């Protein structure tokens, strides 16, 4: 059984149906990337999985449990954390305070928890007393990921980890996601616009278009598919 199983998910906003019966799996310790055109429903799918919007039809199971109708905060307690694309840090709090907020569902935060973050992202230790808003986009993204990791999730759901990064920092961000997966055994489900670069580090990927599954396969299979390349990856 997969760690995450979304089946026939139908969802949207108001009376607009955006997802028309989408399927998606993520296995333990996998990096899974959803790609597709603007407006395809990628972010909406993450929100429906995590419980930020309702699933109108279909089911979402996580770690064997039906979470279809669970609210996002209770999904976090089960071990799934979500990092949105925007507004993912508390701007006026310091780096350290942000990490404390990230760990809110833990009974106790130890210095060892912080040390893990400092070891992974030394820049965050250097800036631990600075306000989050004073850091670069990439540093804030590292902080957002680190805050989510404070509760040792089994699955990290990330909406566009490379958003707003300078092009030469994008591959570095993906390498860091691989390090996180390898170092913490956390599976990662992400949506990405930098599709080719994301698929290179992904175990598996999905192409979503107009709220429907179009293609799925290993990262390498999608990159090698002429059709996917032509239609969704901007040609060879």
Ligand X SMILES: Nc1ncnc2c1ncn2[C@@H]1O[C@H](COP(=O)(O)OP(=O)(O)OP(=O)(O)O)[C@@H](O)[C@H]1O
- From 2, 21, 23, 43, residue interacting with ligand X (rule: CB under 6 A): 43
The percent of the chain in helix, strand and coil, each rounded to the nearest 5, is 40, 25, 35
CB of 32 to ligand X, least distance (A): 15
Residue 40 or 80 with smaller CB distance to ligand X: 40
Cβ contact 201:178 at 8 Å: yes
Query: Applying CB under 6 A, does 130 fall inside the site for ligand X?
Result: no
Footprint of ligand X on residues 191-220 (CB under 6 A)? 191, 193
Rounded CA separation 73/34 (Å):
23
Distances 108 to 80, 98, 112, 186 between C-alpha atoms, Å: 19, 15, 11, 21
- From 4, 6, 9, 18, residue interacting with ligand X (rule: CB under 6 A): 18
- Choose the stretch contacting ligand X; rule: CB under 6 A; options: 21-29, 31-39, 97-105, 213-221: 31-39
Footprint of ligand X on residues 148-177 (CB under 6 A)? none
- From 11, 32, 41, 157, residue interacting with ligand X (rule: CB under 6 A): 41
- From 9, 11, 25, 42, residue interacting with ligand X (rule: CB under 6 A): 42
Strand partners, 236: none
How many Cβ atoms sit within 10 Å of the Cβ of residue 217?
A: 16
Rounded CA separation 22/171 (Å):
29
Query: Applying CB under 6 A, does 39 fall inside the site for ligand X?
Result: yes
| Binding stretches for ligand X (CB under 6 A) | 13, 18, 36, 38-44, 191, 193
């Amino acid at each position: 059984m997969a760690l995450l199983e979304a089946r026939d998910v139908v969802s949207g906003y108001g009376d607009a149906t955006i997802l028309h019966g989408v399927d998606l799996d993520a296995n333990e310790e996998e990096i899974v990337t959803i790609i597709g055109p603007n407006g395809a429903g990628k972010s909406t799918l993450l929100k429906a999985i995590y419980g930020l919007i309702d699933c109108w039809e279909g089911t979402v199971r996580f770690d064997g449990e039906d979470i279809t109708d669970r609210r996002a905060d209770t999904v976090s307690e089960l071990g799934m954390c979500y990092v949105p694309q925007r507004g993912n840090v508390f701007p006026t709090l310091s780096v350290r305070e942000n990490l404390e907020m990230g760990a809110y569902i833990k009974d106790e935060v130890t210095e060892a928890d912080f040390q893990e973050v400092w070891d992974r992202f030394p820049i965050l230790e250097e800036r631990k007393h600075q306000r989050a808003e004073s850091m670069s986009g990439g540093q804030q993204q590292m902080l957002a990921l680190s805050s989510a990791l404070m509760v040792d999730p089994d699955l990290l759901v990330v909406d566009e980890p490379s958003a707003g990064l300078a092009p030469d920092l994008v591959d570095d961000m993906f390498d860091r996601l691989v390090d996180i997966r390898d170092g913490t055994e956390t599976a990662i489900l992400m949506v990405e616009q930098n599709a080719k670069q994301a698929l290179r580090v992904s175990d598996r990927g999905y192409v979503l278009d107009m709220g429907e599954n179009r293609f799925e396969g290993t990262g390498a299979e999608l990159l090698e598919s002429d059709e996917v390349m032509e239609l969704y990856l901007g040609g060879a």
